[in-house]
Structure 1
Amino acid sequence: MYDAASDEPTSVQESLVSTDGQPSDPRTSLPGAIGAVAGGGELETVLDGVLAAGVAALSPAMGAIFISDPDRPGLQLVASHGMDDGAITRLAGEVADPAHPFSAAATSRVATFDREATMPDGSAFVGAYLPLIVSSRGVDVPLGSIGLGWPAPRILDDAERETLTAIAALAAVAVDRARLASTATERSEWFERMAHTDPLTGLANERTVGRILELELARAGRQGSEVSFAMFDVDDFQATNRDGGNEAGDDVLRRVAAVLAESVRLVDTVGRIGGDEFVLVAPGSAGMTVARRVLDGIAALPAVAGRPITVSAGVARFPIDGTDAESLISAAKDGLASARAEGRGTVASGIAPAG
């Protein structure tokens, strides 16, 4: 590893030479790799530090770390040394070949030292390729591979092999830790999402709808605007459950939820608050228009268990039909009762409070 400007050994190289002029133990570079992993941060930055420690210890002409990405096929290059952009692009393409040393190390989980090869310019080349492996419940899990290369001739001694093996192990720990952190984040996001959504339909749950309704009413009260609240009830849902079973009932609920989600505006909120009960919170006075659009969309759905899918709806408006959440919901329920009395697939307005 040389400074490109001065062509003189860097301080890293100088640190690998003892005071009597003899090369020092390459294992003295391991604290740098350990520090890179312990310091944390973005995975690519950590692996750059780990690879730099390997370069400092073993002075290769080039090196790279590839990892497997659960979301993408093949190995992905995450750290490199001694290669220009063209060489990096070529290497990334070549590694797609399962027989390539980087790929072979990752899949076979076997380290290869002193592997001879010929460079594109015809020069002899010696490489060492090691898998990145962690153990999970007694099973070795491959995460990628690391490789370093030198102009031939070059044979790694025992201390150098031990150092490179330790470097590979530290790189594997870094990759595994990053994956665990990603999984923890995804699980946290999933739990957060589940706390606010109905698991069957993916719509907002009753608690979330209630909170949003209160917020919209407070905002409308400050601005002197309106809020529409609609309740939807699947017609003859119990009969569908009886004739087609719970699976048919769940199918109906998911289809109704899909139509609801597709029919509303971005500012609207739709949710499921009970067995076959759905609601809509719509800022402004467009609740009746949206409700009719929902009913038309649901009426176009194919039958389930031999029964057509329809819903009835009741719509109430703040502040005309109710001045708080409780009275608005009550008015929407009254409207729903009126709609159901009129027949399947109808919508009715809520009843404004007397006085």
Structure 2
Amino acid sequence: MSTDFDLYDYLLIGHGLAGALLARELRGRGYRVLVYDEPRPDTASRVAAGLMNPVAGKRFALTWRALDTLPYAVAYYRNLEQELEADFLVETPILKVFGSAQEQQQMVARAATEPWAGFVAAIDTAPIEQAGLLAPYGGAWLRGGGYVRVAELLAALAQQGRAEGWLREETFQWEALVSGAADVSYAPGQVRARQVVCCQGAAALQCPYFAWLPLTPNQGEVLNVEVPGLTATQALNRGAYVVPDGPGRFRVGATYRWPPFEPAGSAEGEAELTARLTGLTPLPYQVLGLRRGVRPAVRDRRPLLGHHPALPWLSICGGFGSKGVSLAPRLAALLADHLGGQSELWPEVDVARYNKLYLADLLENKPPARAFG
């Protein structure tokens, strides 16, 4: 291969939250890293409201590996704020509003076994009297979470990447990669790398090397609204989240849609989200806009990390779904250590759990890539 090519330890494809934090982890370990990213307005990271919720779902279950990931994420984002001299993380209570007496009773019953490891601060069974809030059955106050302004965080890291030269904002062409004995070359960029990591989120479906993974695009819609008089001292959750986004402004989300997706201009998402908002507040509101993003959803709802089963120079970091803000800091560090030979991956996230699908694709001679949208 040409000696005129610049040599990197890691070539990362994608600068959403997963790719951005993995790049930071690898650079922090002294590796030479180059990131390719095609900025898109519909990526999950750029649309997400960034909520970190320790207890979720109708079963009021503690989120997966909450003790391993949430405290780590809070400390991580605080350190990142200091490094970039900016504010991204808002640690705030989350009020999970009960939608019925039955829901309230289920939460109280579960409290008897204390399954939440301290993340539930209190349970109110009486109506919560708070200006602008509809909570006749009370609610549960959650702590240890909050929300991250993900778009601002990524913009600050991208600015750093452009200034320091480790980020190239252009389309990456997978078909232009050529593997050699010790590294791979990418002629359009005049670069070589010892390792390549796919961090493209749902766009990983278009990577010909990972088309066999059970990764499905899932569209989420987030509504930006103005609700004068609604308190911003906590985030709200009841079938939807309501996250503060400036004085009198909030983000309401999110929908979950499988392909085919709602087309641009469709009012269905707005109608669904405004209905959820009016279930939480009687106050008048103004819709400021709606954004759609595409999440990378995995069959077993666990991220995908680790080496390709047949290509030793290739890895993946993705499949975070709607939990990227909570999971990405800890898992980026875990993968960086793993790539450096310093740790094993958690079995639940190791891409090797799907190697049988890769072998099945080889036997069936399936097409090399899939599109989404």
TM-score by length of 1: 0.21
**Bigger radius of gyration, 1 or 2?**
1
Higher RCO (C-alpha under 8 Å, 6+ residues apart): 2
Whichever structure has more strand as a proportion of its residues is 2
TM-score by length of 2: 0.20
Whichever structure has more helix as a proportion of its residues is 1
